[in-house]
Amino acid sequence: MKRIIVAIDGWSSCGKSTLAKQMAKELGYIYVDSGAMYRAVTLYFLRNHVDWEDVKAVEDALENIELDFRQNEQNGVIEIYLNDENVEYLIRDLIVAEKVSEVAAVKAVREFAVAQQQKLGKKKGIVMDGRDIGTVVFPKAELKIFMTADNAVRVERRFKELVEKNPNVTIEEVAENIQMRDYIDSNRAVSPLRQAKEAVLIDNTNLTQEEQLKKALKLAKNITG
């Protein structure tokens, strides 16, 4: 069976990673969460007080950042490592979420991340989710999916996820953060969030996870045969 690249883009918190992980599992492909890379870089910048508006400081800092994905032996989950430290949990914090869109808008940061993402896709057999996967990272991806969902549904989903880790988080904070990220992600100068013209739109406001997976797998099957 033909091995392909599946590019999944879309707005914040509309279930891209859930779908991407499930598709990768069903297809026997690797899954790469490109947002985790921007989050890990943001964590590094915050910890090391790197001013991301200072081009030289960013370039120097990127020289000292090594990212890789490893599979957790206990649960099989793919986790991101920043300079050999597992930061999968830390990068989901609201402190990182508040700054990640600003960091992801920096040209040098994008070049750094995109180069690694393209390398990971060399052998195909990959599902990657993000904001520019179908437009910039893999413009020739065989299958491009663009996901969306109603705003209230997205806020509710992300709130549920975050409140489990931090009971002090409020729904207003989450709503504000999602709105701000969407705005920055779609208005930045470098690789703004856009639906690739060949991308298939999946609005999952009223779809269960099973339904959206079925839909996406059907699209993949039409291509792989």
Site of interaction with ligand DC (CB under 6 A): 12, 34-35, 38-39, 100-101, 104, 130-133, 181, 185
CB of 190 to ligand DC, least distance (A): 9
- DSSP states along the chain: ----EEEEEESTTSSHHHHHHHHHHHHT-EEEEHHHHHHHHHHHHHHTT--TT-HHHHHHHHHT--EEEEE-TTT--EEEEETTEE-TTGGGSHHHHHHHHHHHT-HHHHHHHHHHHHHHTTT--EEEEESSIIIII-TT-SEEEEEE--HHHHHHHHHHHHHHH-TT--HHHHHHHHHHHHHHHHH-SSS-----TTPEEEE-TT--HHHHHHHHHHHHHHHH-
Q: Name the minimum Å distance from CB 221 to ligand DC.
A: 25
Give the residue with the Cβ less far from ligand DC, 2 or 140. Answer: 140
Question: Of the two residues 28 and 38, which places its CB atom closer to ligand DC in the complex?
Answer: 38
If the CB atoms of residues 131 and 157 are measured against ligand DC, the closer one turns out to be 131
- Minimal distance in Å, beta carbon 101 to ligand DC? 4
Q: Which is nearer to ligand DC, 95 or 221 (CB)?
A: 95
Measured from the CB of residue 36, what is the shortest distance to ligand DC in angstroms? 6
Report the nearest approach of ligand DC to the CB of residue 68 (Å): 17
Q: Which is nearer to ligand DC, 2 or 50 (CB)?
A: 50
